[in-house]
Amino acid sequence: MQRTAVQSSNIATVGYDEEQQLLELVFRDGRVYHFLEVPPERVLSLLRAESKGRFFNAEIKPVFDYRAVGRRWG
């Protein structure tokens, strides 16, 4: 999975597995979530968004199924 560090007050990294259409978000507090069946163009829009958090709250969280997968530190 390719992961990219992003400029955001809430999101630390964005990871994406295009084959599985699996979006992984690691938040600054260490929480990790996987969002399911996210098309690649939506991920590109997230990465290009001026406010990653605002885009996430409007276009990802209410639309796609997700699961918490734990915490990451460091």
The 3 state secondary structure assigned to the chain is: CEEEECCCCCEEEEEEECCCCEEEEEECCCEEEEECCCCHHHHHHHHHCCCHHHHHHHHHCCCCCEEEEEECCC
pTM value is 0.93
On the question of pLDDT at 15 being above 90, the answer is yes
pLDDT tens for 18-65 read: 999 999 999 999 999 999 999 999 999 999 999 999 999 999 999 999
pLDDT number for residue 74: 56
Distance CA 18, CA 62 (A): 21
pLDDT number for residue 72: 82
